[in-house]
Amino acid sequence: MNQKNDKWDELLVKTCGLTSPGMVKSLLSIKECETLLALISKANGNFAKANKPFNGLKIFKDRRQDNSQNERFVNDPPHDNEALTTWYKRFFQGEAFGLIMNFLEVYENEIVEEMAIHVAPLLEKRGTPWAGLSTLFFMGDYGYTPFGVHRDSPGEDGILFHLGPATKIFYIWETDVYNKLTNHAESYHNVEEILHAATPYILEPGDAISFPDDMYHVANTEEFSVSLVLDYRRGAKNTIKERLIKEMLKVNIENNSLLEHVDESELLSALDFQKESEAAVTRLKLRLGSNGGFDKKSRITPFTIDLAGTYKLKAPFRLNVINQQENKVLVFSRGHEIFTRQSSFLVEVIESLNSGESLNLPTLNIEFVPDSPSMTVFEFIIKLGETDVLEKV
Ligand SMILES: [Fe+2]
């Protein structure tokens, strides 16, 4: 962990606090890269099983986006425990390809579990961005990025973790140099023509690179490789306002009586606007904080409680509590909201889980009496389990 902490310090120094391009060697170990590669393969399988529209999936064949491949992908994703290096050979049969998938965390909880640990030191140093963290990944043997030299969406400062197996070269241009060379082109396909003016960064498995969202860049991977991007999403002001408004509508949800006529000057105070917008900020902070900084809540998973078992919270997630009216509490767990009855027993359980202690269920002496404090705790633990925040010790 300390070593990881030093690597993040190194990246922050090299990038002047993520405001200029920079890279660090071996932010992830080879073993961590292998774990993430296996999880990405699993996420791809889950994506196919979800059988939703092809949200966030882009497949390029012979350097062109080919939507007909999406259907094939959903019908023939990586099998359980099949390595991506085996799958892509079977699927693309030697043809140059590229594949991008956004919001990877929606398809596999373990990716968030893994990445939240890696990124925790960065969040401690820089804080959590208000639009939360997200992940996407690229894989392929496409040579230069199929859509040419480009820049990313505003506010999406990415940290790219290269997972290998092959080396990838990243090229970044100073904005004024790029504009002069391309006459302000939005993207540029004759990559080699302007390559002389770029700074190359050679990424081996485990290396990480970060650059500001407004810088033009392109990657080159001649042989098969995979990179995972962690989006550190600052979010445009309107995006954050929208999130806060959503949270605000949940503050004091029961107090929704008809508004008596008030003058314009009294409307905001009659709606408790100031107080409730502050409560919305707290809610957003606690929601993201419960989920390692990630925006998308975990996938709900079936959970069978073992009454003889011992459980603890998966690091670095936390249970964040807001007291509600009428003896109720709201607990955020991996982005989900759990409402339950307040009791000193419940507070004790939450505090011990948050401090990293293990919870041995037999020692709780649960009495299966409806509405009893121990029954509340029992029901609460089941709900926690479904949010995939618990691990068995
Ligand atoms: Fe990009």
Q: 25-79: per-residue pLDDT in tens?
A: 999 999 999 999 999 999 999 999 987 776 789 999 888 899 889 989 999 999 9
Q: What is the pLDDT of residues 79-102, one digit of tens each?
A: 999 999 999 999 988 888 999 999
Q: What is the pLDDT of residues 285-311, one digit of tens each?
A: 999 999 999 999 999 999 999 999 999
Q: Does 226 lie in the same domain as 243?
A: no
Position 164 scores a pLDDT of 95
Q: Does 183 lie in the same domain as 94?
A: yes
* CB atoms near residue 98 (< 10 Å): 25
Residue 102 Cα to ligand 1 middle (Å): 12
CATH of the domain at 379: 3.90.930
Q: Does 35 lie in the same domain as 111?
A: yes
Q: What is the pLDDT of residues 358-383, one digit of tens each?
A: 999 999 888 888 888 899 999 999 99
> Does 304 reside within a domain?
no
pTM for the complete prediction?
0.92
CATH of the domain at 26: 2.60.120.650
Range of the domain at 384: 310-392
> Does 174 reside within a domain?
yes
Q: Does 149 lie in the same domain as 162?
A: yes
Residue 218 Cα to ligand 1 middle (Å): 7
Residue 148 Cα to ligand 1 middle (Å): 9
Residue 150 Cα to ligand 1 middle (Å): 6
Count of domains observed in the chain: 3
Position 63 scores a pLDDT of 81
Q: Does 259 lie in the same domain as 196?
A: no
* CB atoms near residue 42 (< 10 Å): 19
Q: What is the largest CA-CA distance in the chain?
A: 75
Q: Give the C-alpha separation, 251 to 33, whole Å.
A: 41
Of the residues 215, 233, 251, which one is the last residue of a structural domain? 233
Q: Does 179 lie in the same domain as 256?
A: no
Position 1 scores a pLDDT of 59
Residue 363 Cα to ligand 1 middle (Å): 52
Between 1 and 201, name the one with better pLDDT: 201
Single out the residue of 228, 218, 217, 219 nearest to residue 168, CA to CA. Answer: 219
Single out the residue of 286, 235, 296, 289 nearest to residue 112, CA to CA. Answer: 296
Residue 151 Cα to ligand 1 middle (Å): 6
Q: Does 178 lie in the same domain as 53?
A: yes
Residues of the chain with pLDDT > 90: what percent? Answer: 83
Residue 260 Cα to ligand 1 middle (Å): 52
Residue 259 Cα to ligand 1 middle (Å): 49
